[in-house]
Amino acid sequence: MKKVMVSLSVMALAASLGASAKDWKEIHFGVDATYAPFESKSADGKIVGFDIDLGNEICRRLKAKCVYVENDFDGMIPALKAKKFDGILSSMSITPKRMEAINFTSKLFNTPSRLVAKAGAGIQPTAASLKGKRIGVEQGTIQEDYAKQKWAAAGVEVVPYQNQDLVMADLVAGRIDGAFQDAVMASEGFLKKPQGKGFAFAGPAVNDKQIMGEGAGIGLRKEDTELRDAMNKAIADMLKDGTYNKIQKKYFDFDVYGG
C-alpha cells in the first residue's frame, strides 16, 4: 500500500511540474527598431531586419509565434525582468555587467564598434583626439559605457540619446562631432544611405572585451533556462545546416558571426 501511495505521489508531482512548465506558443521579443540593418521599420511600419529574420527562424524551429514589442534600448533589461516580453532581440552584446542581471543565449553575431564623423575630420577614437568634442551614443549601449569610462574623464562630452535615429540626426545636423556605435549599423544603416553622404569612419574599430563583450545574443530572464536551452539548440542547428548563412547573405556581403 505504501509503495502504491509513493508511486501516486510521484505521478502527481510529475503532473504538477508538467502543468507548470511554460508552453511557449508565443515568444515576445523586445526590440529597438532604430538600428538598421538589425532591426528597423519598413515603409509600411513593419519591423524588419537581420535580428528579426533570425528571431522568426528560431520561433519556427520552436513551433512558436514571434511577437515583437518596441522598447527603448536603455529600458530593455528592466522591461524583460518585469515580464513585458520574454526575450531581448535587439543587438544586445553579452557583457559581464549585463550577465549579472540576465542570461543570454549563445552568440548570434559579433561586430566591432566604430566612430563616425565628417569625412576628413581627422579625429580618432581616443581620449586625446576627442578632447573637447561632442560624441553621440545611444543610451544603454556598450558604446555609451565605453565612452563614459574611457573618454569622459579626459574632457570628451559624451551625449546620450534615446535611440540611434536621434544620434544620426544630430550628427547630420552638426550638433555633435561624431557618433559611436556598432560598425555594421554605421556602415549598412547610415554610411551607405543618402543621409550618410559626406561622412566616414574615423579611425579603427574599438574592441574592449570587458566592457563590450564578445558578441550579441538574446537576453533572457535567469529563470527561463528551458527557453534558453531550446533557443541555443535552434541557433546551433541554424549554423550547422546553413540557414544562418542564408539569412546573413540577405543583409551582408561579409561574415557577421565572427570568430
Bridge-based pairing state of the strands 47-48 and 39-41: antiparallel
Q: What is the pLDDT of residues 118-143, one digit of tens each?
A: 999 999 999 999 999 999 999 999 99
Query: Three cell numbers at 169?
Result: 540626426
pLDDT score for 89: 98
Give the residue from 83, 74, 87 showing the smallest Cα distance to 30.
87
Whether the CB-CB separation of 150 and 107 falls below 8 Å is answered with no
Classify 68 as helix, strand or coil: strand
Whether omega for the bond prior to residue 37 falls within 30 degrees of 0, making it cis, is yes
Give the residue from 82, 81, 85 showing the smallest Cα distance to 31.
85
Confidence of residue 68 (pLDDT cuts 50, 70, 90): very high
Distance between terminal CA atoms of the chain?
60
- Of 6-20, 123-137, 187-201, 242-256, the range with the lowest mean pLDDT is 6-20
The phi and psi torsions of 69 (rounded to 5 degrees) equal -115, 120
Residue 46, judged by CB atoms within 10 A of its CB (0-12, 13-18, 19+), counts as exposed
Whether the CB-CB separation of 171 and 161 falls below 8 Å is answered with no
The kind and range of the H/E element at 52 are helix 50-61
Is the pTM higher than 0.95? The answer reads no
pLDDT score for 52: 98
CA–CA separation, 125 and 218 (whole Å): 28
Cα 19 to Cα 7, 14, 85, 98, 220, distances in angstroms: 18, 9, 21, 31, 22
| Domains, the chain, ordered by start | 24-110+214-248 (3.40.190.10), 113-212 (3.40.190.10)
Residue 17 has pLDDT above 60, yes or no: no
Residue 61 has pLDDT above 70, yes or no: yes
Residue 117 has pLDDT above 90, yes or no: yes
Give the residue from 248, 220, 218, 237 showing the smallest Cα distance to 53.
248
Q: What is the pLDDT of residues 231-259, one digit of tens each?
A: 999 999 999 999 999 999 999 999 999 86
